[in-house]
Amino acid sequence: MINTLARIDFAASAGRTPWHRASALSKLILAAAVVGLAVFSPSLRLLVALHVLAWILALTSRMPARVVVLAAGYPLFFATLFVVMSWDGGWSSPLRMMLRPLTASLAAVWLVGTTPYPDLFAPLSRVLPRAVGDGLFLTYRALFDLIERTERLWRALRIRGGASAPVRKRLTLAGEGLATLVLYGFDRSQRLYATMLLRGHSGRICGCRHYAEMTRSDLLVALAGVVVAAAAVALWRTP
């Protein structure tokens, strides 16, 4: 899961498609519209249309297909579980139940795969409480550093026989290993705090100020929005 996140993060920063050049705000609005319609749509045809559009969005973002499939496929397990639990013998309800999360997930992957995280979190941090908005930035910033350390730690545990011990011992060792990461996180927070003070931290992490700057590429997002709206109007009342 985290490897997928790392690849998506790379794609968001290194991508050069028109989606990448469009503003974060317009993409957020489009993604919210797709997710909202997918969740509330009573029409199977509209769901199918949104699903196709979500695939087009995700694939034209030039993210590796494997990453798109991995990220978008996560809800499959849960949705399948739900379908199995409440299957009525028909195909309409299960199809709806599968398409809704998959469409929403694809829209989310398109959004994060084309938008660097400072641009993505900046508008969200405006509406969330300050501490939570800052938490988004600080958590994301610490994430990849800690992932690397976690992977090294696990490799070291395996090489030194940590994986062959009895389960209880193995889990306790894993806990002790994670405690070293807690310590590292604490030390890191002290260094980060010092850096923030040196850079003149004013009590708020502002993030990128360019999230609402429109470019010509936003016309493409607007076009996609028009397609979504037209599909909603035309298909909402269909079965």
Partner 1 sequence: MSHLHVPDGVLPVALWAPGLALALILLVLSARSLRRATAQHMAYRGALGALVLAAMAVQIPFGPLEYHLTLVGPVGVLLGPAAGYQVVFVASAMLAFVGHGGFTVIGLNGLVLGAGVALARPVYEWLARSRRPPAAMAAATAAGQAVSGALWLTIVVIALGARAGVEHPGGPPGRLGLLLGLAAPMWLIGVVVETVVAFGIARFLGRVRPDLLPRAGAGERDAAGGAA
Please, what is the minimum distance in Å from the beta carbon of residue 30 to partner 1? Answer: 13
Q: How far is the CB of 29 from partner 1 (least distance, A)?
A: 13
Q: Which is nearer to partner 1, 170 or 210 (CB)?
A: 170
What is the distance between the alpha carbons of residues 118 and 218, in angstroms, rounded to a whole number? 18
Please state the separation of Cα 36 from the chain's center in Å: 16
| Coil vs helix vs strand at 127 | helix
Task: Kindly determine how many residues on this chain lie close enough to bind partner 1 according to the rule CB under 8 A.
Answer: 90
Question: 24 near 120, Cβ under 8 Å?
Answer: yes
Nearer to partner 1, 72 or 224 (CB): 72
DSSP 3-state assignment of 123? helix
Comparing CB distances to partner 1, the nearer of 22 and 67 is 67
Stretch in the footprint of partner 1 (CB under 8 A) among 13-21, 68-76, 210-218, 228-236: 68-76
Q: Which of 97, 208, 212, 220 binds partner 1 (CB under 8 A)?
A: 97
Q: Compute the residue count for the chain.
A: 239
Least separation in angstroms between CB 216 and partner 1: 26
Q: Site map for partner 1, 179-218, x if CB under 8 A?
A: xxxxxxxx-xxx-xx--xx---x-x---------------
Query: Distance between CA atoms of 20 and 42, rounded to whole angstroms?
Result: 32
Stretch that binds partner 1, among 13-21, 172-180, 207-215, 216-224 (CB under 8 A): 172-180
Going by C-alpha positions, the residue among 138, 236, 239 that lies closest to residue 195 is 138
Q: How far is the CB of 65 from partner 1 (least distance, A)?
A: 15
Q: How far apart are CA 70 and CA 180, in angstroms?
A: 30
Phi-psi region of 207 (alpha: psi -120 to 50; beta: other; left: phi over 0): left
Residues 110-169, interacting with partner 1 (CB under 8 A): 111-112, 120, 124, 128-132, 134-143, 145-147, 149-151, 154, 167-168
Among 60, 93, 95, 212, binds partner 1 (CB under 8 A): 93
Contact flag: residue 231 with partner 1 (CB under 8 A) = no
Dihedral of alpha carbons 20, 26, 28, 33, sign: negative
10 Å Cβ neighbour count for 55? 16
- Report the residue from 13, 14, 40, 230 that binds partner 1 according to the rule CB under 8 A: 40
